[in-house]
Amino acid sequence: MFKTLAADFRIIFERDPAARNGLEVLLCYPGFQALVCHRVAHWLYQQRLPVIPRLLSHLSRLLTGVEIHPGARLGQGIFIDHGMGVVIGETAIVGDYCLIYQGVTLGGTGKQSGKRHPTLANNVVVGAGAKVLGNIQIGENVRIGAGSVVLRDVPSDCTVVGIPGRVIYRSGVRVDPLDHSQMPDSEARVIRMLLDRIEALEDQLEGLNLPPAEEAIDVTLAPVGDRCQLRDRTIEEFLDGAGI
């Protein structure tokens, strides 16, 4: 346990430029304090001690604003930044060196028994306010954008944005986990393509000599050359969730 807590402590200085010294981290970082309480509560939970682990988890939530069920399995080197509003469910599994921002929920989607919360592999970044729900698998080095809602499995080495979360691959590009300005805007890109399509159709309509409404005839529009088609891969991936 102490080796794991040491890794949790060291990672804060690597990922938070505001961390000045060890005493400040111990006294003023609720995310780290919540992890300390959880490590103890989880050990007691594994010993099948009744009530006490849940009580310790509850007291930790009151003090830090972070709610971690004592049954959750957390790896080493996890950093919960700020932490207020973070909720991690009973059967959740969080891998090593994950970064979790405030308002994140690793929750379930029903009352079924057994594994009902997500599993995060190593080096996952979950942005502020994101919700990862259900017994799903999140691969290594995945970045989940702020405010996203992820309901399906996500493969390794990609980025997820939107509601519901959609995968955007970034093969071969290494991104700093703290650099949120690099998060792609898939919705804006698809909307731009659809607007291009509408403008192209309007141009075609303006070029037709249509009869009055009472003499309307069937008009079949010609293909729009290189303009965006509905079968365009970007739009298809956006509409069907890009396979997640």
Q: Which domains does the chain have, with CATH numbers?
A: 1-169 (2.160.10.10), 186-240 (no CATH)
Measured distance CA(35)–CA(37) in Å, rounded: 5
Please give the chain's pLDDT, 244 residues, in tens: 778 888 888 888 888 888 888 898 888 889 999 999 999 999 999 999 999 999 999 999 999 999 999 999 999 999 998 889 999 999 999 999 999 999 999 998 877 778 899 999 999 999 999 999 999 999 999 899 888 999 988 888 888 888 888 877 655 455 555 555 555 566 666 777 787 778 888 878 777 766 665 555 555 555 555 555 545 666 665 555 544 4
**Per residue, what are the HEC states of the chain?**
CHHHHHHHHHHHHHHCCCCCCHHHHHHHCHHHHHHHHHHHHHHHHHCCCCCHHHHHHHHHHHHHCCEECCCCEECCCCEECCCCCCEECCCCEECCCCEECCCCEEECCCCCCCCCCCEECCCCEECCCCEEECCCEECCCCEECCCCEECCCECCCEEEECCCCEEEECCCCCCCCCCHHHCCCHHHHHHHHHHHHHHHHHHHHHCCCCCCHHHCCCCCCCCCCCCCCCCCHHHHHHHCHHHC
Please say whether the beta carbons of 90 and 117 come within 8 A.
yes
pLDDT of residue 244: 45
Q: What are 64's two structure tokens?
A: 């830090």
- Decide the pairing of beta strands 158-161 and 166-169: antiparallel
pLDDT of residue 172: 45
Query: What are the two backbone dihedrals, phi and then psi, of residue 197, each rounded to the nearest 5 degrees?
Result: -65, -45
Please say whether the beta carbons of 164 and 144 come within 8 A.
no
Please say whether the beta carbons of 10 and 16 come within 8 A.
no
pLDDT of residue 179: 58
Angle at 134 between CA 233 and CA 78, to 5 degrees: 95
Give how far the C-alpha of residue 224 lies from the chain's centroid of Cα atoms, to the nearest Å. 37
- Number of residues that make up the chain: 244
Q: What are 50's two structure tokens?
A: 């009744």
Q: What are 29's two structure tokens?
A: 């970082």
pLDDT of residue 170: 58
Report the DSSP beta bridge partners of residue 160: 144, 167
Q: What are 183's two structure tokens?
A: 């998060």
Residue 239: count other Cβ atoms within 10 Å of its Cβ: 11
